């Protein structure tokens, strides 16, 4: 029984240490038709999450008279950061608050993708489809969440959010606030 208690204490201690880690940001940028340069997009990095607030114009629309180019909007953030030695991290989900106006027979989609530039061929992507009108927060869960950062060192973190409006009736999907991607740390 004593061995079990000691083992549990060691595991909990490692978990607390891992959760106290933080990224050291070197630089950050954003791009995409949903958050072009000069649009006022803000990026925030804490020990527990990466978040950004795209402009209120981050909207995809569909319907009569709406150009096809307006059906898909994307906002990508890139963060150059130093990862603490002996630790790596991943994302379990991205939370995207949206407001939808869904026309008859239409749908909207929120797609989130993340990857690390050191392993750009390895990505995590998830899409959620919405079919009703209103405000909600889409929690796109990366499952399985197996795309990890390198163990320590520096890398560029890329997070891409896409909004898509699908159908022939008038409809739209708009980002309605701060997009948050929580960080999960692990000792390595």
The pLDDT of residue 20: 54
The pLDDT of residue 56: 86
> pTM of the full predicted structure?
0.86
The pLDDT of residue 61: 97
The pLDDT of residue 120: 84
The pLDDT of residue 158: 96
Residues in the chain: 188
The pLDDT of residue 11: 43
Residue 183 contacts residue 47 (beta carbons within 8 Å): yes
Residue 176 contacts residue 99 (beta carbons within 8 Å): yes
Rounded CA separation 123/140 (Å):
14
Q: Kindly list the domain boundaries of the chain, sorted by start residue.
A: 2-187
**Which residues fall within 8 angstroms of residue 74, CB to CB, at 6 or more apart?**
32, 33, 34, 160, 161, 162, 163
For residue 185, the tally of other CB atoms under 10 A from its CB is 22
Per-residue pLDDT of the chain (188 residues; tens, 9 = 90+): 454 444 444 444 444 445 558 899 999 999 999 987 776 778 999 999 999 999 888 999 999 999 999 999 999 999 999 999 999 999 999 999 999 999 899 999 999 999 999 998 899 999 999 999 999 999 999 987 789 999 999 999 999 999 999 999 999 999 999 999 999 999 99
């Amino acid at each position: 029984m004593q061995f079990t208690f000691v083992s549990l204490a060691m595991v909990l201690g490692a978990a607390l240490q891992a959760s106290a880690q933080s990224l050291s940001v070197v630089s950050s940028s954003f791009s995409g038709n949903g958050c072009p340069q000069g649009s006022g997009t803000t990026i925030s990095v804490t020990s527990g999450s990466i978040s950004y607030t795209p402009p209120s114009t981050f909207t995809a629309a569909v319907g009569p008279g709406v150009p096809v180019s307006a059906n898909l909007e994307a906002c990508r953030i890139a963060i150059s950061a130093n990862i603490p030695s002996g630790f790596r991290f991943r994302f379990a989900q991205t939370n995207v608050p949206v407001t939808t106006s869904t026309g008859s027979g239409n749908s909207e989609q929120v797609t989130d993708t993340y990857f690390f530039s050191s392993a750009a061929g390895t990505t995590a992507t998830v899409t959620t489809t919405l079919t009703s009108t209103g405000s909600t927060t889409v929690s796109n869960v990366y499952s399985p969440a197996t795309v990890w950062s390198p163990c320590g060192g520096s890398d560029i973190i890329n997070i891409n959010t896409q909004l898509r409006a699908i159908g022939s009736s008038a409809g739209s999907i708009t980002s309605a606030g701060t997009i948050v991607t929580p960080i999960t740390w692990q000792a390595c």
